[in-house]
Structure 1
């Protein structure tokens, strides 16, 4: 795990890119953020909306403080602790709010130094003075480097205040935007105590995380843990009420408080016109994840002295809810989980058909599910069913019109690719197969184009039909009630005396032939409906029969049983919800609520699920939101895995880590690292068995040679690397493979990955390329350390045989007593006489006309004569007699080899090269 300081600083870079993504799309105005980001990215709509609501809440709170009439004409101060690359000061300048204002940014010295370098690129904004880690920009803007975790924080902080000329007594707003939860609880408490003591006129504003009782809590905690920035203090003060106690238990305590979570902020401070503007910016269909995320972020304001005169709106502190535990029998079935959401489930004889959704495909990839699965309640087992027409639909409805027929209506493949046909599913004569017929509608076909709608089977004037209402079309919430008649599959538009509300992700449940109940849904106002309506189709009327916060939900399911409505799951803007609520229609009251747990302290995700009532038993399938699969990768027990991430969704990374941990076992380990921080971290060499980069999707990381070389350094010999990267005209497969080879990787393999349409659009817009694909590259580090030596085996070369040491002395003879002959005694006077030239001349062949070498010639004459004979040898001639016919009739040594065929007797010129021997 990277060091805590490095990881926290890494969140600044990621946050700046996310703010730039939202600003580029028009969520808010920020013309300065581009100077603080080195690249242009496009985050998912969920992340863009999250940063939009964060920017709105924080910025409007600061502006409200500066515009307070009580402070008109007097000095005001804003101090941003953990400011990072936030551009709040520059945005206040654009709104002409710098009068009588002194602004101070405080963060790690390295972060402030980088921020100052970025500011130097902004025209008309230059650094006036610098002093170590303190910088002055403009007369009233100061930046200071200070580590809040250091023991001498208070002393250094007071020194910075004196350097900036800031007063302890003027109205001061201290802003902590997602900062304090990263600190230990004692440091959190110490900073709060010191800040409240220093400033008697204080407005302390914090935007930070809290814990709730829904399923997103564990996902959020694990997410921050896996990226190396655990929420240390949030465990001690998990709720809003416990945060209030910190500010009220000291002698210098604050006396006025305001708090609300982001769902409450949206509900009370964003009007319908603004919500419509946001909806038009980009396709968005992650409503459930957004609501769950907003429950976990709060805006907290504590004031004292003059700052308590600021008129903030009323506080919205959610009261804790205790759900009644009833005698509901929850049976956890012993089977593999059905990992899917946005699908539908319907009875099909004695079984249940599961159609569409987004989840696990048979090939192990995560995408829209093509295959239909059949669930057998008796044996608690899933069975795949094949068909000729794939139904890759999400957020559609399916209705059992007989024991052997099901009708599929609406749904989408992407927010811009909407289904406008009916699909009739019938039992096939072949085993494990079904027949799907596509029914083309000629009349009112456009009314079928919708998703996230609701409907059920009714009988009106003796005709059976499926009533359909609401949903989304072209990004807009609609009403458009219709009936699909089952006798001829015609479509009829239904008019009620009073227009039905505009809703999506709600439910309609028939309670009699011509009566149904409508519950919940997401309204045009951006909030969840708390009303329960009774629809009378015979009279074409409807009435509200119940309005309770417990019914305020969407993406739930409802079943009618024994005059009771059993409501399962859903999410809400208004309150935390139980997993199951039972409403009595006779009494028009909520009888009981239930919380379901799969295991201790683990809440299940009951939204975007499907459920079916079979013989008084309710079966719940799937649910949740975006998740990620890594089945394409291979893991081994006890492996040490490094997971490199870039852009991510909060719910994706923890599930990936959990998936890998299950594969590597307790003896293995999983470590996460922001890919931009890898080269700055001090990882040991040869530390990991496996490295994974490019997950979760989308990831726009370009794996440079420096990055790949660092990965190769920290991988063990023989370790593997899995990299996902987009292939475009400017970034080809060969370039990526070449980078891997140059970085030291071998055994490079490529596999194409399927990509969802919304992800494809994100890649296309970010990379400015229409033609692209997503590939998984698998490679290995050589099985030796850097600096190791190995003998090269070159082709055609063999090791020379060891030479015999004929005259070598044996070491055993060193002490031999036998006398050694003196070589000088073997020579006489004639041998010692110096020879002259005449005596050395060879006598062979001198008296002959023709030279002739001796039999055992040692003077070199034999070699000389042999070379002369070779030079006089005639040119090779073919004796086969068929050379003129071409190469097919020529031998290997033929001088005409390679020449075209010729006529017998025709003169053919041969080059010197052709006449030379090959050896």
Structure 2
């Protein structure tokens, strides 16, 4: 067996183990998958959810096909089936009629192993049905189940096998490729697609595979399969939803619809079931999970009588990305490797970075316990990273994620909330005093832990937004809004911490935004107003929000911005982003939204500019990362330089499904002036009437 074939079969074995994991954890009911493994590993929740949406997409397509054909004669042909148990699940649940033939094809070596496992299992044997010819080394030939050993790249051999196994070329036939033909050479997979269209009169071809290889997540995905010596052969030629659809139309199929798994999952799985799936295990990796779903698609091509079968007809692309303007960035090498951290700017070139997830000194990755200092030398295009000595009360920990840190007027830093694990949210409040020596170098950070009555304080939370707001009287307060209180609780509370008396007050809210998490907040009008953008709704069971709200510190009133009709550009929905308000050269106040995740398979958020007076916006796409530096603009922290000339992005990255964990290796700097040019051209439009 060729090494490439062996590596491809290795991906099948890994897939089977993952499907076994989701069955054991209750994501789906499959009592047969365990018959094909000799161990039952427990995968991480992120991987379990990723495989659940994969299994669910194929399951829904197959059951829709069975419903469409009724009890008439038909076939399902699974290409590269591996140790898939779909036939046994369908047969065991009595969903396969007597006139349905289920066919599986894979390399002869895989088929031999599967044949042995089936023959040695009374449970599986009972579901195979009548064997109309003796089981041979090349597979199983039953009346309703056929297992064929054949290299699908060899058309002549495939045709001979189909004749021997009495495959019917006239009855309605559904071909399934679940991450299978993508490992074939693109010429071979295209020949197979065309061959199926040419030889089967009434057919459909359902293909689940990877798309969008050029962004940071996509590069990590591509590199993963390259390292396994099982590269994705088709993705470069067919990288988008549109190109996937066009491929089938060009290869002889009458119709084709292609949708992202993100859209299919959110629109076809009920909210109740989504909530149930998210409650099976503690889970908080929404950015990575949604990114995974945006990088996979399901294409269903049809011809003949099956053209009327439209399983994806109710699925629409929800996140519309208008044409965006390009912008440039400058990247600076850094030793900072972390995400889910927080940071604050304590001088023009100095940034405190606190907590987060990254490489640990003892090996592996973990929540990081310390405070480090990042210094950027823009003139040299360089940066430095150092750990700072910390003097803290016993029991204080910085090993947390999704917390906040803000600089107060007196130069001290306040830290609030976050979590250790999703089962352990935090509500503590820490004050950091930065102590410098005679040469202005930081010699240590002193930590004070604030104490509050338990009944007058925010609940433990993370993924909230926080800003420091001010009145003209120099009254200062930390505003905390929304967030997650637990894996099943999304908050909509608004709390203020007076930074003189250090007392909390919960604000009454009327006609304000619904509970959310993963949103961002920025101060406006000298700190008297707060702009809240984006986020995810309760339980994260929907698309990111395309909303911008303001809250006034004096009037205590919320106001929702309505996007103007004067521009075809509207802000891309997003969450997990950062935001700041800047003033452009013409005196217009602009909300700058930086990075995040939007749920689109076409384009992830870059830099969004929203004119707070004219209610119009412009979206800028960031440069494509390189294979050497697969930068991702989520799970990061960001800042605007004091002169409002630059956006500065620190850290970022994520655990990219089963493809590995990646940390941004560069600081990103983006010149704001280039972002304001288009916005200034839009300023000729009339101002909003007050």
What is the TM-score with the length of structure 2 in the denominator? 0.85
Equivalent in 557, 582, 585 of residue 578 of structure 2: 557
- Say if 2:607 is the partner of 1:580: yes
Of the three residues 463, 472, 478, the one matched with 2:491 is 478
Distance in 1 between the 2:284 and 2:573 partners? 19
Alignment partner, residue 277 of structure 1: 276
Show the counterpart of 2:56: 56
* Whole-angstrom CA distance in 1 between matches of 2:556 and 2:361: 46
Q: Does 1:612 align with 2:650?
A: no
The residue aligned with 1:518 is 532
How far apart, in 2, do the equivalents of 1:144 and 1:597 lie?
Answer: 43
- Flag the 1:599–1:237 CA change in 2: closer, same or farther, 3 A: closer
**Structure 2 CA distance, aligned partners of 1:111 and 1:66?**
27
Larger Rg: 1
Aligned to 1:589: 616
Q: Deviations over 1:231-287 (max 9, x none)?
A: 12222222232233332234xx22221211111112211222112101111111211
Q: Assess if the C-alpha contact under 8 Å between 1:534 and 1:543 holds in 2.
A: yes
Q: Does 1:467 align with 2:479?
A: yes
| Match in the other structure for 2:310 | 311
Q: Say whether the 8 Å CA contact 2:417–2:426 is kept in structure 1.
A: yes
Partner of 2:91: 93
CA distance in 1, matches of 2:135, 2:624: 57
Q: How big is each residue's C-alpha offset from its partner over 1:629-660, in whole Å with a ceiling of 9 and x where there is no partner?
A: xxxxxxxxxxxxxxxxxxx82134x889x9xx
Stretch deviating more after TM superposition (578-587 or 199-208): 578-587
2:406, 2:428 → 1: CA distance? Answer: 15
- Quote how far apart the aligned CAs of 1:432 are: 1.5
Structure-1 residue corresponding to 2:509? 496
Q: What is aligned with 2:651?
A: 622
Distance 1:322 1:43, change over 3 A: same
Conserved 8 A contact 1:531-1:551:
no
Q: Find the counterpart in structure 2 of residue 911 from structure 1.
A: none
Match of 2:658 in 1: 649
Which gives a bigger RCO, structure 1 or 2 (Cα 8 Å, sep 6+)?
2
Residues 1:147 and 2:147 aligned together:
no
Give the one of 406, 416, 441 matched to 1:409. 416
Q: Secondary structure at the match of 1:470?
A: strand
C-alpha deviation, 1:122, in angstroms: 3.6
Distance in 2 between residues matched to 1:119 and 1:233, nearest whole Å: 32
What's 2:194 paired with?
193
Q: Is the contact between residue 609 and residue 621 of structure 1 (CA under 8 Å) also seen in structure 2?
A: yes
Structure 1 residues 546 and 603: CA distance shift in structure 2, 3 A = farther
Cross-structure match for 2:593: 567
1:214 Cα deviation after fit: 2.3
- Contact 1:341–1:608, Cα closer than 8 Å, also in 2: yes
User: Secondary structure in 2 aligned to 1:77?
Assistant: strand
1:308/1:594 CA distance change after superposition, 3 Å: closer
Is this contact kept in 2: 1:257–1:315, CA < 8 A? no
- CA 1:377–1:7: 2 relative to 1, 3 Å: closer
1:832 is aligned to none
Give the Å deviation of 1:134.
4.5
Shift of 1:87: 1.0
Asked whether the 8 Å contact 2:570–2:618 carries over to 1, the reply is no
Aligned position for 1:441 = 452
8 Å CA contact retained: 1:259, 1:315: no
Change (3 A) 1:48 1:103: same
Matched, 1:163 2:177: no
- CA separation of 1:373/1:503 partners in 2, compared to 1, >3 Å: closer, same or farther? same
Is the partner of 1:551 in helix, strand or coil? Answer: coil
Distance 2:416 2:663 in 1: 32
- The separation in 1 between residues aligned to 2:373 and 2:505, in whole angstroms, is 32
CA–CA separation in structure 2 for the residues paired with 1:483 and 1:184: 60
Query: TM-score, structure 1 length as denominator?
Result: 0.65
**Are residues 606 and 435 of structure 1, via their aligned partners in 2, closer, same or farther at CA, if it must alter by over 3 Å?**
same
Mapped to 1, the partners of 2:273 and 2:128 lie a distance apart of 36
1:301 aligns with 2:303: no
Alpha-carbon distance, 1:131 to partner: 4.9
Call closer, same or farther: CA 1:360–1:445 in 2, change over 3 Å.
farther
2:36 paired residue number? 36
Superimposed CA distance per residue, residues 510-530 of structure 1 (whole angstroms, 9 cap, x where no aligned partner): 213432111111222332111
Structure 2 SS opposite 1:566? strand
Distance 1:448-1:655 versus aligned 2 partners, 3 A rule? closer
Could you list the runs of 5+ residues in structure 1 that have no partner in the other structure?
Answer: 628-647, 659-919
CA contact (8 A) 1:550 1:577 kept: no
Alpha-carbon distance between aligned partners in 2 of 1:599 and 1:185, rounded to the nearest angstrom: 23
In structure 1, C-alpha distance between the alignment counterparts of 2:456 and 2:347, rounded to whole Å = 29
* Distance change (3 Å), C-alpha of 1:541 and 1:246: same
Corresponding residue SS for 1:471: strand
Partner of 2:686 in structure 1?
none
Q: How big is the shift at 1:598?
A: 6.1
The match for 2:544 among 516, 520, 528 is 528
Distance 2:299 2:116 in 1: 32
Query: In the superposition, relative to structure 1, how do residues 78 and 366 fare at CA in structure 2: closer, same or farther (>3 Å)?
Result: closer
CA displacement at 1:447 relative to structure 2: 2.5
Change in 2 beyond 3 A, CA 1:319/1:529: closer
Q: Which residue of 2 aligns with 1:366?
A: 365
Q: How far apart, CA to CA, are the structure 2 residues paired with 1:36 and 1:161? A: 25
Size of the aligned set, in residue pairs, is 626
SS of equivalent residue, structure 1 residue 260: strand
- The answer for the alignment partner of 1:432 in structure 2 is 443
Q: Give 3-state SS (helix, strand or coil) of 1:263's partner.
A: helix
Measure, in 2, the Cα distance between the counterparts of 1:519 and 1:45: 28
- Judge conservation of contact 1:203–1:304 (CA < 8 Å) in 2: yes
Q: Whole-Å Cα distance in 1 between the matches of residues 184 and 377 of structure 2? A: 53
**Cα contact 1:126–1:137 (8 A) shared by 2:** no
Which of 561, 569, 594 lines up with 1:545 in the alignment?
Answer: 561
**1:237 corresponding residue in structure 2:** 238
Partner of 2:675: none
Which of 379, 391, 399 aligns to 2:398? It is 391
- Once the two structures are superposed, residues 279-322 of structure 1 have per-residue CA deviations (whole angstroms, 9 ceiling, x without a partner) of 11111121111122112110000001111111322454688864
Cα distance in 2 for partners of 1:343, 1:104 equals 50
Per the TM alignment, residue 363 of structure 1 is displaced from its structure 2 partner at its CA by 6.0
Local SS of the residue matching 1:564: strand
Q: In the TM superposition, what whole-angstrom CA distance separates every residue of 1:812-837 from its partner, at most 9, and x where no partner exists? A: xxxxxxxxxxxxxxxxxxxxxxxxxx
Partners of 1:527 and 1:417 in 2: CA distance: 26
Q: What's the offset of the Cα at 1:190?
A: 1.0
Taking the aligned partners of 2:545 and 2:271, their CA distance within structure 1 comes to 15
Tell me the secondary structure at the aligned position of residue 423 of structure 1.
strand
Aligned to 2:659, what secondary structure does the other structure show? coil
Is the contact made by 2:241 and 2:260 (CA closer than 8 Å) also made in structure 1? Answer: no
Deviation at residue 539 of structure 1 after TM alignment: 3.7
Q: Provide the residue aligned with 2:520 in structure 1.
A: 507
The answer to whether the Cα contact below 8 Å between 2:82 and 2:110 also exists between their aligned partners in 1 is yes
d(CA) in 1 for partners of 2:603, 2:545: 14
- Work out whether residues 653 and 663 of structure 2, in 8 Å CA contact, stay in contact via their aligned partners in 1: no
**Aligned-pair CA distance for 1:72:** 2.8
* Bigger shift: residues 78-87 or 446-455: 446-455
Could you say if the C-alpha distance between residues 470 and 414 of structure 1 is closer, same or farther in structure 2, counting changes exceeding 3 Å? same
Cα distance in 2 between the residues matched to 1:257 and 1:571: 28
- In terms of mean alpha carbon deviation, does 415-424 or 55-64 score higher? 415-424
Alpha carbons 1:349, 1:404 under 8 Å: kept: no
